[in-house]
Amino acid sequence: MLESSVVNIKGVGEKFAEALQSLNIITISDLLFYFPSRYDVIEILPLEELIHEDRVTIEGRVLNTPSLSFYGRKKSRLTFNVEIDNIAVKAVMFNRAFAKNQLKIGDVVTLTGKWDAHRLQITVSNYQKGSMENSTEIQPIYSVRGEVTSFRLKKAIQQAIQDYSHFVEEILPEDMLLSYKIPIRKDALKTMHFPENRILLKHARRRFTYEEFLLFQLKIQILRKRNREVSLGNVVKFDTEKLHQFINRFPFKLTNAQAKSLQQILNDLKSPYRMNRLLQGDVGSGKTAVAAMALYAAVTANKQGALMVPTEILAEQHIQSLREMFGDLAQIELLTGSIKGKRRKEVLTKLENNDVHILVGTHALIQDDVHFHDLGLVVVDEQHRFGVEQRRALSNKGLQPDVLFMTATPIPRTLAITAFGDMDVSVIDEMPAGRKEIETYWTKANTFDRVLNFISKHVEQGEQAYLICPLIEESDKLDIQDAVDLYNQLVAYYPPSIQVGLMHGRLSSAEKEEVMKDFAENKVQVLVSTTVVEVGVNVPNATIMVIYDAERFGLSQLHQLRGRVGRGDKQSYCILIADPKSDTGKERMRIMTETNNGFELSEADLKLRGPGDFFGTKQSGVPDFKVADMIHDYRALETARTDAQEIIEFNLLESDPKYKNLQLFLENEGVFDTVLD
Ligand code: ADP
Ligand code: MG
C-alpha cells in the first residue's frame, strides 16, 4: 500500500507526481517520510521582548482605516496602526492592496514580519485575522523546488497522512518504546509534519533519530557478520617464539596501549576470519612499530606482507626504518611509480617467487601486474587518503589478506562508529614515556622577523626547523611559488651557517630524497616545504615547526604537521602564523595552542567543519541522515550501536518474535542482499 505511487493520493495528479520525483518522492511512503528540513516557531511575545530585526509575530487590534499608496509600476504600500497593550505599533504591508478592505477598525489581527524596535514598526509578511489558536505555533519548513511549492506539498502530505498513515507499522519492539519513552512510529510521523507543541516534536525527532541510527548500525553489523562468515579459512599461523625475539630487538618496551593493540591484531591473524581493523593513534604513538611486528608475524607464517602508504617519500622512509628493524630477518623491497623497467620486473619476479617478504610502496602495489606468492597481511598507512576504490582493489589482491588500516588522524569516535562501523578498532591512546609536550604559539604575520630570530637561536644550539607553506590548490603552480619566494627570502636573511633547503611536490623523487637526506643529516637546518612532509616524516633533531598561513589548514592537518617535531628528547615548538578573519578561524588557532591531544582536536574539527570535510572529500562513507545529527545526537548513536550489536550477535532478528517487524523492514530495504566488497 505505502509502496504504491503517490498518484494514488487524492488530489495528486500525474503531473504533480512527476514533479515530486525531483525530490526523490515516488511512493506514498517516500512522501510520508519526507520530513521538514526545519521548523519555524511562531510565538507571540510581549513587545518589550521582541528583538530588533527579528522575524516576530504580534497580535493586536486595528486602530485606524489602512491607508493605501501606490508607487512604481503596480507596487503598493498599505499602512495602519495596531494597538498592543496600549501601545500603537505601525504595520506596513507591501503589495497587498486587497487587504485594505479586509481590515476594519477594532479587528483582532495576528501579524508576522520583521520587527523594527526603534520605530515600533513591523513589516508584515503574513497576516491572519483573529488570534492564533495557541500562543505558540510550530510551522514545518520543507525544502522544495520547481513546481513543488510548500503549499502543494503540505496539502499532499496532509492527505497522505489522513488516508494512509494507519498503514505505517511499528518496527521497534514495544519494550524498547517503553524504556526509551519514544512515541510509536505512526504518531511520531504525524508529529514530524504537524507538530502540536515543542515537547511532542522533540520526542518524535528523538524517535526517528534513534530509528535512523539503529537501522544504519544494523546494516553495518549484518554486513560485518556476513563478511566474517564468507571469509573463513584465513589463518596466519605465526611463530610466537620468533615473534618474541623480534619484539625484543627493539630498544624500548611497548606501551600498554601498543601491547594491547598488537595482541588484538595477532588474535585476528590467528583467527580464521579476515581481519578488517583500524589502528588509530596520535602521531608518534608508535603505530609503525606495532605494524612492523604484525608484518613479521605474517612472515614467520611464511606469508608475505605489504605496507601501502600515500606518498613516495613516505614509502622511502618506511622502507628505511623497516630495514633497520628487520636486519636480515626479512627481504624488504620498494615498489613505487618511479621504480620502472628492469628494476620493476626484478622486484615483481622476486615477489612472485616469495623472495620478497615485505613489499612497501604506494598505489603501485595494487596494479594489475603485481602478483604476490602468498599475501597474508596488508597494512595501509594513513588510510583516509585512500579511496574506496583502492581499498577494494587491494582487498581483491591475493587471497583475501588480513587488512590493517593505520591512521594518525585520530578519527572522532562519532565518525569512527559511523564511517568505519564495519571495522574493528584498536586505539593507541598513550604516548611512549618521556616525551615532552610540544609548545604551540599563534602569532600574526607581522611578527615574522621574531619567528626567524627564534629559529636562529635554536639552530645555533644544533636544532632544526621546518617552515611550511600551504598548498592553495593541488597542482597549482602559484603555491609552489609561495614556497620558492619564502625560500629565497630566508636564504637572503640567514648567514651561511644556517643552510636553507626547499622541498615541494614538483621535485623529482630523486631530488626530494636528496633534500630529505640533507635535512636528516643536518646539512640543512631550515627546511621550507609545502605539505609534502605532512605524514610520517621522521627527523628527531627538528624541534621547530612553523606553519605559514595556518588558517588555511584544517585542525587535523595542523596537528599532523606539528607531529613532525617533538620526536626527540628536546623541547619542541610549533608556531602558527595566521591572521584569521572569522571567529571560527580564530577559535581553531586557539584550540591548537591549547591541546596536543589529537582526539580532542579531531572532535573540535568535526564540530567546526562538519563531517563531509573531515576526510577532505564528500565521499567519506558517512551517511546522510534525515533527522539524526551525528554530533549532537551522539549518545543516541552509542545506544543504537550497542542495541544493534546485541541484536545481531544473538541472532534476535530471527529468533525473537518481537523483532519480526524490524526483520521484515530490513528485508524490504534489501539489506540482506547487499553485495560484499
Ligand atoms: P607512529 O607511526 O604512530 O607515528 P612510530 O611508530 O613512527 O609512531 O614511533 C615514533 C617514534 O617513537 C619512533 O622513533 C619509535 O622508534 C618510537 N617508539 C615507538 N614505540 C615506542 C615505545 N614504546 N617507547 C619508546 N619509543 C617508542
Ligand atoms: Mg608512522
Q: What local confidence, expressed as pLDDT, does residue 533 receive?
A: 63
Query: Which grid cell is 161?
Result: 497522512
Instruction: Please report which confidence band the pLDDT of residue 401 belongs to, taking 50, 70 and 90 as the band edges.
Output: confident
- The CATH classification number of 240-428 equals 3.40.50.300
Closest CA to 335 of 323, 324, 325, 343: 343
Under 8 Å between Cβ of 288 and 315:
no
Please tell me if the CB atom of residue 287 comes closer than 6 angstroms to any atom of ligand 1.
Answer: yes
Instruction: Please report which confidence band the pLDDT of residue 509 belongs to, taking 50, 70 and 90 as the band edges.
Output: confident
Q: What local confidence, expressed as pLDDT, does residue 265 receive?
A: 97
Query: Which grid cell is 587?
Result: 577559535
For ion ligand 2, residues whose CB falls within 5 Å: 288, 536
Closest CA to 42 of 144, 146, 127: 127
Instruction: Please report which confidence band the pLDDT of residue 610 belongs to, taking 50, 70 and 90 as the band edges.
Output: low
Residue range 374-383: mean pLDDT, rounded: 85
Dist CA 636 CA 213 (whole Å): 8
Give the atom of ligand 1 at the shortest distance from the alpha carbon of 290: 6
Q: What local confidence, expressed as pLDDT, does residue 615 receive?
A: 46
What is the percentage of the chain residues whose pLDDT exceeds 70?
Answer: 90
Please tell me if the CB atom of residue 310 comes closer than 6 angstroms to any atom of ligand 1.
Answer: no
Please tell me if the CB atom of residue 66 comes closer than 6 angstroms to any atom of ligand 1.
Answer: no
Please tell me if the CB atom of residue 410 comes closer than 6 angstroms to any atom of ligand 1.
Answer: no
Q: What local confidence, expressed as pLDDT, does residue 617 receive?
A: 36
CA atoms within 13 A on the CB side of 343: 8
Closest CA to 127 of 78, 64, 178, 193: 78
Q: What local confidence, expressed as pLDDT, does residue 616 receive?
A: 42
Q: What local confidence, expressed as pLDDT, does residue 568 receive?
A: 81
Instruction: Please report which confidence band the pLDDT of residue 508 belongs to, taking 50, 70 and 90 as the band edges.
Output: confident
- Is residue 303 over pLDDT 90? yes
* Strand boundaries in 117-206, DSSP class E: 121-129, 136-141
Side chain identity, residue 329: L
Instruction: Please report which confidence band the pLDDT of residue 397 belongs to, taking 50, 70 and 90 as the band edges.
Output: low
Please tell me if the CB atom of residue 209 comes closer than 6 angstroms to any atom of ligand 1.
Answer: no
Please tell me if the CB atom of residue 568 comes closer than 6 angstroms to any atom of ligand 1.
Answer: no
Which range among 373-387, 417-431, 467-481 shows the weakest confidence by mean pLDDT? 467-481
* N-terminal to C-terminal alpha carbon distance within the chain: 34
pTM: 0.65
Query: Which grid cell is 278?
Result: 583500524
Q: What local confidence, expressed as pLDDT, does residue 521 receive?
A: 92
Q: Write the pLDDT tens digit of every residue in 56-77.
A: 999 999 999 999 999 888 899 9
544 Cα to the center of ligand 2, angstroms: 19
Out of 261, 285, 317, mutate this one to test ligand 1's pocket (max ligand atoms within 8 Å of CB): namely 285
Instruction: Please report which confidence band the pLDDT of residue 534 belongs to, taking 50, 70 and 90 as the band edges.
Output: low
Query: Which grid cell is 459?
Result: 639552530
Out of 250, 252, 282, 533, mutate this one to test ligand 1's pocket (max ligand atoms within 8 Å of CB): namely 252
- The protein residue whose alpha carbon is closest to atom 26 in ligand 1 is 432
Instruction: Please report which confidence band the pLDDT of residue 472 belongs to, taking 50, 70 and 90 as the band edges.
Output: low
Across the chain, mean pLDDT equals 87
Please tell me if the CB atom of residue 286 comes closer than 6 angstroms to any atom of ligand 1.
Answer: yes
Residue range 556-564: mean pLDDT, rounded: 86
Q: What local confidence, expressed as pLDDT, does residue 225 receive?
A: 80
Please tell me if the CB atom of residue 408 comes closer than 6 angstroms to any atom of ligand 1.
Answer: yes
Query: Which grid cell is 598?
Result: 589529537
Q: Write the pLDDT tens digit of every residue in 198-240.
A: 899 999 999 999 999 999 889 888 877 876 776 666 789 999 9
Bigger pLDDT: 191 or 515? 191
283 Cα to the center of ligand 2, angstroms: 7
Dist CA 157 CA 138 (whole Å): 16
Please tell me if the CB atom of residue 285 comes closer than 6 angstroms to any atom of ligand 1.
Answer: yes
**Burial of residue 272, with CB atoms counted within 10 A of its CB: 0-12 exposed, 13-18 middle, 19 or more buried:** exposed
Residue ranges of the alpha helices (H) in 72-149?
Answer: none
Bigger pLDDT: 53 or 135? 53
Please tell me if the CB atom of residue 254 comes closer than 6 angstroms to any atom of ligand 1.
Answer: yes
Ligand that comes closest to the CA of residue 259: 1
439 Cα to the center of ligand 2, angstroms: 21
- CATH entry 3.40.50.300 includes domain 439-595: yes
Under 8 Å between Cβ of 299 and 236:
no
Out of 253, 256, 261, 287, mutate this one to test ligand 1's pocket (max ligand atoms within 8 Å of CB): namely 287
Residue range 75-81: mean pLDDT, rounded: 94
Bigger pLDDT: 109 or 424? 109
255 Cα to the center of ligand 1, angstroms: 10
Please tell me if the CB atom of residue 284 comes closer than 6 angstroms to any atom of ligand 1.
Answer: yes
- Is residue 477 over pLDDT 60? no
* Strand boundaries in 509-572, DSSP class E: 526-529, 542-547
658 Cα to the center of ligand 2, angstroms: 48
Dist CA 22 CA 15 (whole Å): 12
- CATH entry 3.40.30.10 includes domain 45-131: no
Domain ranges across the chain: 45-131, 240-428, 439-595
Sheet holding 526-529, edge to edge: 439-443, 573-577, 542-547, 464-468, 526-529, 500-503
Dist CA 508 CA 505 (whole Å): 8
- Is residue 41 over pLDDT 60? yes
Residue with cell 519555524: 40
Residue range 147-160: mean pLDDT, rounded: 94
Q: Write the pLDDT tens digit of every residue in 613-634.
A: 444 433 345 567 888 887 778 8
Please tell me if the CB atom of residue 596 comes closer than 6 angstroms to any atom of ligand 1.
Answer: no
Dist CA 401 CA 133 (whole Å): 66
Residue range 447-457: mean pLDDT, rounded: 94
**Equal CATH topology for 240-428 and 439-595:** yes
Give the atom of ligand 1 at the shortest distance from the alpha carbon of 255: 23
Residue ranges of the alpha helices (H) in 231-368?
Answer: 240-249, 256-270, 287-300, 312-326, 341-352
575 Cα to the center of ligand 1, angstroms: 24
* Secondary structure letter of residue 86 according to DSSP: T
Query: Which grid cell is 244?
Result: 618474541
Please tell me if the CB atom of residue 283 comes closer than 6 angstroms to any atom of ligand 1.
Answer: yes
Instruction: Please report which confidence band the pLDDT of residue 635 belongs to, taking 50, 70 and 90 as the band edges.
Output: confident
Give the atom of ligand 1 at the shortest distance from the alpha carbon of 253: 23
Please tell me if the CB atom of residue 501 comes closer than 6 angstroms to any atom of ligand 1.
Answer: no
**Strands 136-141, 573-577: pairing kind:** unpaired
Please tell me if the CB atom of residue 279 comes closer than 6 angstroms to any atom of ligand 1.
Answer: no
Give the atom of ligand 1 at the shortest distance from the alpha carbon of 540: 14
